[in-house]
Structure 1
Amino acid sequence: MSASSPRIAIVGAGPGGLVCARVLQQHGIPVSVHDLDASRTARDQGGTLDMHPESGQQALRAAGLWEQFLELARPEGQQMRLAGRDGRILFDATPPEAGTDEGSPEIDRGRLRDLLLDSLAPGTVRWSHRLTRAEPLGGGTHRLHFSGGDTADVDLVVGADGAWSRVRRLLSEAVPVYTGVTFVETGLDDADHRHPALAALAGEGTMMALDDNQGFVAQRNGGGHIRVYVGMRTDEDWHQRRGVDLADADAVRDALLKAFTGWSDDLLGFITETDTGYVNRPLYALPVPHTWEHTPGVTLLGDAAHVMSPFSGMGANLAMLDGADLARALAAGPTLDDAVTAYESVLLPRSAEAAEGAAEGIDGAFAPDGAEQALAHMTRHH
């Protein structure tokens, strides 16, 4: 396939799209990546990720980046704690010792993205390329139209453009729907020195406190930062119903404190001691299963194919495995279409299984007996 140099464009420079580009380049296959951001530093990349052996780690090995990853990873970040609404620790899984690659080592999303970006040939990523539409030209080719007026004619467009993918529209009418759970994100800076009690409660990895359709998730990031998600099963427009202006930090704080009446003051500190303000993040997922009829010249990976709740722990891991699998199929396939068909035959059932698990995970966590369900799950898996 490399001899015929198919024109391959990946839309979206997230972990899945970048892994795909990296593995393609390792096989000598040209590729371009188009991203709507103005640069790699245009926005915060989010929290931390645990790289699973059967997915994210496999993708990093396929990309030839495993050793570089280990230099950046935080194995201590695998610590998992569960607390009740009274702040009492119900479960505490000790992480592997620092310096080991056992289990599922953590890495900040921003550091992972930089690792992948730095591995690509210069000029691979075209920044400020917001896709407005993909125009079928026949025979599997498409003309990509970008907001700045640029166009690109390609033999394969790979939708790696996230939950609200524009590429997906070529294959499916499905759109993500609200899961019934909203996170309000906040954060603590220099937590060990400025918020020592909360830092001790959070531990070195992730602490969850769950009860009665509500909960806290405190996630240790690099640089002393703790990212906090205040979660609740509620209406998508909860803030409007309560007359809360999301731009008014005091109003959001007061609304959250009212919603969490009866919770331990130790846990409520994750709301009141914020250094970053509050960001409303309703959680969405595609219908399960999300499938499509094979269409020459286009395919999907990552959230574009299977956005699901974060309670699967699989989102970025699956996206990276998708990217590696697609690239390896393209390198091995006798034709572009044969390669994409082979990739999709693996992707679709795998995605459906993971999405089912994610739906069960969020429903179990944000349930009347969320702590009991989470404790049973952690006890089985640690």
Structure 2
Amino acid sequence: MAAPTIAIIGGGPCGLTLARLLECKGIEYVVYEREESESENSNRVGGSLDLHPETGQRALQEGGLFDEFKRYARYDDPVFAIADKLGKRLVELGHGRDAPEIDRSALRHILLDAIPKDQIKWGHALASVTAGEDNRPVLRFANGAVLSGFKLVVGADGAWSKVRSRITQVTPQYTGKSFLVSKIAHENPLYETTASKAGAGSSLSIGSGKYIMTQRQGNGSYRVSFGLQVPENLFRNGTGNLQDAETTRRLLLSDFYADWSEEHKDLIRHATDLCAWPLYTLCTEDMGWESVPGMTLAGDAAHLSFTGGDGVNLAMTDSLKLASKIAEHGTKSLDQAVQEYEADMFPRGIARIAESKVMEDVMHSEDPQAFIQLMSS
């Protein structure tokens, strides 16, 4: 049986948005996802995303999914409070902003439901990409499958993209920043206090080169992120052993947040489900590779940057632009479509990486003023 025209590597928001848009346009595709099933609990499924009108929301509109999105979207959660390390609230932004929050898991559910089940191949972690005799990609998966015959392979496989290595030799660099993600669930003794103080949306406290962000999730629980400037392997080599939550809490309280308010320290004392997330980025100079026939990149695989809230919007825009170029040129001129898509994508990627560097710096300032000025502008 002939291979589908397009192989999409990665079943995150970027890859699934592209799949839905190609489905709407009647273009053959298949998605290869490393997770074993839709129900597998992945770190990527956690967290909340704000979708913007001209990017993420537009992609959903083009895919005929906007009404479904509105069922899950939280229009009262764009509120963003900024405080200092002593707990003093300085400003509250975002009231009335058209950037509703949606849980990543809910967005994924919407997209998966809009794609035929047989178009997604679960349990396919890409191991490598090589060139076949026709110089087109050959995909080798960790489960032993070796597949070829695609006219286009789209790497939507995130920060450590295997597809990227066949297109460019650039690799992500550690930013010097990591965050620890935790949660305050309904059954947590601190929940009522957190809910009464944090309320809707997100709150960000900045001080002494670090931050704490509290964000309400769709089920009413709170996701708490501790942003730190630490060595890359601090939470991998035993110094900050996440398997021992009490040791990690003591480390945070003694070495990082000792001079913060008791309100902030309580978030540490009651944090559960701690997970480390080292942050990596590509550089602006990494954008602009020479187009490779039969392959391209989208989302973090193309322009990984410091987290700042716009990543999913940019990724979904990539999918929208790529699907439009494919439809415009047809499947017989995919290389032309890719060249035009990449020429359009590079400036967006450069701008996002540059903006995220500024965001990275101000979120790790000595006090919140630089961040407030940036957000107000």
TM category, shorter: over 0.9
The letter of the residue matching 2:118 is G
* Whole-angstrom distance in 2 between the partners of 1:304 and 1:56: 18
- The answer to whether the 8 A contact 1:330-1:339 is kept is yes
| Post-superposition CA distance 1:51-92 (Å, at most 9, x none) | 011211111111111111111101111110001111011111
Gapped runs of 5+ residues in structure 1? 97-101
The letter of the residue matching 2:49 is L
* Match of residue 213 from structure 1: 209
* Whole-angstrom distance in 2 between the partners of 1:8 and 1:285: 27
Given the superposition, is the C-alpha separation of residues 5 and 39 from structure 1 closer, same or farther in structure 2, using an over 3 Å criterion? closer
* Match of residue 158 from structure 2: 162
Greater displacement, 82-91 / 283-292: 283-292
Task: Give the 3-state SS of the residue equivalent to 1:299 in structure 2.
Answer: strand
| Post-superposition CA distance 1:240-297 (Å, at most 9, x none) | 78833221111000000012011010111111112x3321111111122322110100
- The answer to whether the 8 A contact 1:185-1:281 is kept is yes
Greater displacement, 226-235 / 140-149: 140-149
Using the aligned pairs only, state the percent identity. 34
The letter of the residue matching 2:46 is G
- The answer to whether the 8 A contact 2:182-2:274 is kept is yes
* Match of residue 146 from structure 1: 141
* Whole-angstrom distance in 2 between the partners of 1:179 and 1:243: 19
Gapped runs of 5+ residues in structure 2? none
* Match of residue 81 from structure 1: 81
State the TM-score, normalized to the length of structure 1: 0.92
* Match of residue 51 from structure 1: 51
Given the superposition, is the C-alpha separation of residues 296 and 239 from structure 1 closer, same or farther in structure 2, using an over 3 Å criterion? closer
The letter of the residue matching 1:106 is E
Residue 14 of structure 1 pairs with residue 9 of structure 2: no
- The answer to whether the 8 A contact 2:212-2:227 is kept is yes
Given the superposition, is the C-alpha separation of residues 109 and 166 from structure 1 closer, same or farther in structure 2, using an over 3 Å criterion? same
* Whole-angstrom distance in 1 between the partners of 2:356 and 2:344: 19
The letter of the residue matching 1:328 is S
Which runs of structure 2 are paired with 1:283-298 in the superposition (5 Å)?
A: 283-291=279-287, 292-298=289-295
Following superposition, the deviation at residue 138 of structure 1 comes to 4.8
Greater displacement, 236-245 / 217-226: 236-245
* Whole-angstrom distance in 2 between the partners of 1:8 and 1:171: 17
Task: Give the 3-state SS of the residue equivalent to 1:310 in structure 2.
Answer: coil
TM-align CA RMSD: 1.9
Task: Give the 3-state SS of the residue equivalent to 2:351 in structure 1.
Answer: helix
- The answer to whether the 8 A contact 2:83-2:89 is kept is yes
* Whole-angstrom distance in 1 between the partners of 2:290 and 2:211: 39
* Match of residue 71 from structure 2: 71
Q: State the number of aligned residues.
A: 369
The letter of the residue matching 2:32 is H
Given the superposition, is the C-alpha separation of residues 253 and 301 from structure 1 closer, same or farther in structure 2, using an over 3 Å criterion? same
Task: Give the 3-state SS of the residue equivalent to 2:110 in structure 1.
Answer: helix
State the TM-score, normalized to the length of structure 2: 0.93
Out of 331, 337, 340, the position equivalent to 1:339 is: 337
The letter of the residue matching 1:376 is Q
- The answer to whether the 8 A contact 1:5-1:30 is kept is no
| Post-superposition CA distance 1:319-357 (Å, at most 9, x none) | 111111111111111511111111101111111101100
* Match of residue 99 from structure 1: none
Which runs of structure 2 are paired with 1:224-243 in the superposition (5 Å)?
A: 224-239=220-235, 243=239
* Whole-angstrom distance in 2 between the partners of 1:61 and 1:243: 47
* Whole-angstrom distance in 2 between the partners of 1:82 and 1:114: 31
Following superposition, the deviation at residue 368 of structure 1 comes to 2.3
* Match of residue 40 from structure 2: 42
The letter of the residue matching 1:310 is T
* Whole-angstrom distance in 2 between the partners of 1:93 and 1:43: 33
Task: Give the 3-state SS of the residue equivalent to 1:25 in structure 2.
Answer: helix
Task: Give the 3-state SS of the residue equivalent to 1:144 in structure 2.
Answer: strand
* Match of residue 133 from structure 1: 128
Out of 247, 263, 271, the position equivalent to 2:260 is: 263
